[in-house]
Amino acid sequence: MSVVISAPVAAQATSVTSTSAVDTTAGPPKPFTAYSNSARALRDSVVQLAKAQIGTRYRRGGQSPEKGFDCSGLVKYVMSALNLDLPRTARQQGAFGLAIARDTSRLLPGDVLTFGHGKKAVSHVAIYIGDGRYVHASTTAGKVVETRIDRPNSPLLRMWRGARRVFALDDTAAVPPSGSATTPANVSATLANKSGT
């Protein structure tokens, strides 16, 4: 079952009070401007949360900054902070959401990248953060790192296979499984709690 979260839920909380993101000088706003701005804010939050974990140690089966992360534990942790309940394993996450072809021009921040050896199933996942870079829990580095997507191929590295889009840019997708809205205020509070401030 693929569930994709859209940003309109978050837009409900921000579109009423925030007009700075909508340009009113060029005529009436486009119908879904608030939704697009909210989706962008949600994706920015995914990037912030993922980058905040850089340096956290690698631990097989790890799912928290305190104990460490494995690749799927990192993805699950970041997405769950934004009320998106992803499956636990890389293989399961590699089947969640909308499939995106192996084309860097189609990637958006927050997409889940999938990796594997040869024709085997997905064995590694990461979070795309934009500009050809992604954050992942690396067994080789022994910690969460930021890596370029166009790195040279090596027999030690898993090959990039594609991506899964778990956040939609329109209002056609389901709401968060928990039924609660993700707002910029909630994300800020989550970031503050995670960083200990």
Domains identified in the chain and CATH numbers: 5-14+30-149+156-191 (3.90.1720.10)
**Catalytic-labelled residue, pool 5, 7, 71, 127:** 71
**Catalytic-labelled residue, pool 124, 158, 164, 165:** 124
pLDDT band with cut points at 50, 70 and 90 for residue 118: confident
Percent of the chain with pLDDT over 90: 49
Regarding predicted confidence, which is higher, 152 or 132?
132
Which pLDDT value is given to residue 35?
Answer: 57
pTM, whole model, 2 decimals? 0.69
Q: Is 124 in the active site? A: yes
Summarize the confidence of residues 77-98 as an average pLDDT: 94
Which pLDDT value is given to residue 120?
Answer: 74
Name every residue whose Cβ is closer than 8 Å to that of residue 128 and which is 6 or more positions away in sequence: 107, 108, 109, 110, 111, 112, 113, 134, 149, 163
Q: Is 117 in the active site? A: no
**Catalytic-labelled residue, pool 136, 158, 164, 165:** 136
Which pLDDT value is given to residue 155?
Answer: 55
Q: How far, in Å, CA of 178 to CA of 126, rounded?
A: 23
